[in-house]
Structure 1
């Protein structure tokens, strides 16, 4: 765990810096500079483009991570081979997109017709995001995670905010903002590319015949099988936003997107750890160290659940005050309960730990494919059922339910097949503390100004969480780490 923790620190810093920029963007800049319809277009086009990335990638990202440890040399040739394969996938996706463009137009024609004018941008964003994702996987295999995370989480969001600021200053129009997104994603990819070249781990090599016997066929087989699982997983994350635009309208998607982003911060510890954990899991499987995987599985579950429940309580305890700072909050505060249900779904996800990563790199990766495809079909069905009844709250409830079912099935499968279990008595104590603090998060502060309220409520929540943690003897590693930081920052 020490190696993963040390590798995760800088990644986590960049991730949270990205969240800080993202919060400024999503909670203030975007709703201030863009009207609700423009914001809905802005989010829908990006969600569509990113939805297509895993279909174009054809599983190359996971393939690189899994098969990289099997190569003692020829890593650069492996990268060029993966890039060529994913570019073929992009051509197929592009052909399908153009072939079914009329049907896509009809999907948005009734409730969100403005989206149709910008569909041509989708494929170019997909291309740059695709190339960036392959480079990320290659960098991750060298455990060089932090800088690619910077370009993905910080650089990209910063450039996007610059783009919107130019629009706010009337230096460019909205159409140029949308076209500028192509350049933003292109520069983020270029940054990762330059970093890998500078670190001398990327030299394009097209001598593909020198791979070990059977290597290429095994890599292609694994990639093609896992790509459907990855694509379906992305569909689960993105489809609710797209369906809200299509079934309700662009303003509803703007409200949903802001609420979704508020809740998204809860899963950031998981994303930071997962980036570094994947190559470690692949290495453990290659050396048949199942006990090490189980230990990692449990440690990550407890640590993430402990931290993420605290973040959930801090957000929910201050939710009305957070919305106070959102421009035109009378429109966007309608997404308050979206925050709660999406956050609950993220808690389900982090509690069940790295089960998806373990399945992907195990011999049972086909099960992950079947399950993820089934879940993607389920989320579409649940959204068609709940959105007409509950509107945007229905999409959020559906997302939370699917995350619970999805992770519960994976948990049972891994326990049966490999004897892995992320849960312990510590899990129950953490859940008890989190539930109690969440239920008390609406108490303890009288009516004061929003800034004072956030400060006092946060101190109250942190205090209760800390006292209960010490009483039940959980979270000691996290609090010890905070004490060390405070000592270092002292005189």
Structure 2
């Protein structure tokens, strides 16, 4: 337990450092001034991420979850030199990437046709995206190996901190005219390859794994089960990644300003996604607890987790969203954000609503996923994608980038409504109570008090006063109305520690 706790602490520190560097990078990408990046140039870097991750997901062929699942069987029954799981974990995704390259070249004329009019910059650097996607693939395979050896800090450092630091170096080189944008984007395209080489070198030096092409008896025994698992998870992963990246790719292809709009939308999504940061942490914590509760058939515990995560995530999300929306206009001004990005303000609002819907409905996906009805989670993913893709296309054509935000609100509202209905129908579980309505009323009241009191104040003064008062009113309301038991428990812990000093 000590090792797990230590690695968790170190990894958290690394992630927060990476987040800080990433925030600096984003600001440098979007700030105005001489030598600044244009929205189109920033948009291209975001498209590299979205298309690169899509390439990686398609190429992986579902192999990496199979590596995690079956590694204990290989490790317990084979020596290091006989363990061929490392080989197949690398070779199969690499063969998958060959197929991705083949598909990318075959469909290149179609890509050129769809993007050349409004996103010519993407067409110009289309082949470099393959290098970026290849780097993500190799790094993620090596990250998988490092994780199964329980060395999680190193890949987290390389991915969360080192990648962003190298990006910062490239940004500064561009700002000081040491490299052109052409040089910047080509070097940016190989950053994942660089950190993959570093990780691979360290893993090889550690002598934790080796490659062999001799098929082991473990592979012969489990190959069908591994293939079944990989195929099933592969389908779900494709659905997940498409729901995450389809909007920016569609915007670059069909919106009025193409890749410029993609850059504006990416910034809006970055701001709105801040609401989901606590949700990711809570998901990781609740999964093992839910698994145990299902095993013990402890429905009261599952219902408690469902309602508790719903109200906690809703409150945290409302706190973040209210704070952002109160001062977003002044923030754009004091941070000298380029005027073009103001077109994304509406997008931030509606994407924020979509993230609140997803957070405020609690861990319904994890409850379904850890139950015997886990296949329904895959089905809801199919429903989400079936609704999201055509709706996104239609609304972007009709309303521009804010149409994609509308699509997110509608799709995730339907998606979560189906899961809420399913859990109620099957298990009589539901996430809401009277505290949910009180939380919304508290947020609206605190927001308008702060807005009207300081509406004539601008700059840092307005931001600090609005944010401070909103925080005080919100937190005081949470405790006064006892909206969540966790807040009161946290207060008791703080009191006890303070009194023991």
1:401 to 388, 406, 410: 410
Measure, in 1, the Cα distance between the counterparts of 2:430 and 2:172: 48
Whether the 8 Å contact between 1:19 and 1:153 is mirrored in structure 2 is yes
Whether the 8 Å contact between 1:15 and 1:149 is mirrored in structure 2 is yes
Cα distance, 1:445–1:367 mapped onto 2, change above 3 Å: same
Whether the 8 Å contact between 2:291 and 2:371 is mirrored in structure 1 is no
Gaps of 5+ in 1: none
Report the TM-score, using the length of structure 1 for normalisation. Answer: 0.85
Structure with higher Rg: it is 2
Task: Give the C-alpha shift of residue 189 in structure 1.
Answer: 3.2
Tell whether 2:349 aligns with 1:340: yes
Measure, in 1, the Cα distance between the counterparts of 2:141 and 2:369: 17
2:360 to 351, 355, 380: 351
Per-residue CA deviation, residues 463-489 of structure 1 (Å, 9 max, x unaligned), is: 01111111122345357658749978x
Task: Give the C-alpha shift of residue 64 in structure 1.
Answer: 4.2
Measure, in 1, the Cα distance between the counterparts of 2:210 and 2:290: 24
The alignment of Structure 1 onto Structure 2 pairs a total of residues equal to 487
2:114 to 104, 107, 111: 107
2:175 to 168, 174, 181: 168
Tell whether 2:28 aligns with 1:28: yes
Cα distance, 1:210–1:276 mapped onto 2, change above 3 Å: farther
Report the TM-score, using the length of structure 2 for normalisation. Answer: 0.83
Whether the 8 Å contact between 2:383 and 2:415 is mirrored in structure 1 is no
Task: Give the C-alpha shift of residue 209 in structure 1.
Answer: 2.7
Tell whether 2:129 aligns with 1:122: yes
Per-residue CA deviation, residues 59-91 of structure 1 (Å, 9 max, x unaligned), is: 334444555577772696545433333223222
Measure, in 2, the Cα distance between the counterparts of 1:10 and 1:437: 37
Tell whether 2:379 aligns with 1:376: no
Measure, in 1, the Cα distance between the counterparts of 2:217 and 2:454: 67
Measure, in 1, the Cα distance between the counterparts of 2:87 and 2:297: 32
Cα distance, 1:448–1:438 mapped onto 2, change above 3 Å: closer
The residue number in structure 1 matching 2:51 is 48
Tell whether 2:485 aligns with 1:465: no
Structure with bigger RCO (C-alpha 8 Å, 6+ apart): 1
The residue number in structure 2 matching 1:59 is 62
Query: How does 1:236-315 map onto structure 2 within 5 Å?
Result: 236-248=243-255, 249-275=258-284, 280=288, 284=292, 288-289=295-296, 291=298, 296-315=305-324
Cα distance, 1:202–1:468 mapped onto 2, change above 3 Å: farther
1:453 to 439, 462, 469: 462
Cα distance, 1:296–1:78 mapped onto 2, change above 3 Å: farther
Measure, in 2, the Cα distance between the counterparts of 1:67 and 1:426: 44
Task: Give the C-alpha shift of residue 225 in structure 1.
Answer: 1.6
Whether the 8 Å contact between 1:58 and 1:224 is mirrored in structure 2 is yes
- Report which stretch shifted further, 143-152 or 385-394: 143-152
Task: Give the C-alpha shift of residue 120 in structure 1.
Answer: 0.4
- Report which stretch shifted further, 237-246 or 75-84: 75-84
Whether the 8 Å contact between 2:84 and 2:216 is mirrored in structure 1 is no
1:152 to 144, 149, 159: 159
Query: How does 1:185-200 map onto structure 2 within 5 Å?
Result: 185-193=192-200
- Report which stretch shifted further, 91-100 or 479-488: 479-488
Gaps of 5+ in 2: none
Task: Give the C-alpha shift of residue 304 in structure 1.
Answer: 2.7
Task: Give the C-alpha shift of residue 42 in structure 1.
Answer: 2.4
Measure, in 2, the Cα distance between the counterparts of 1:425 and 1:215: 50
Measure, in 1, the Cα distance between the counterparts of 2:216 and 2:186: 40
Cα distance, 1:11–1:247 mapped onto 2, change above 3 Å: same
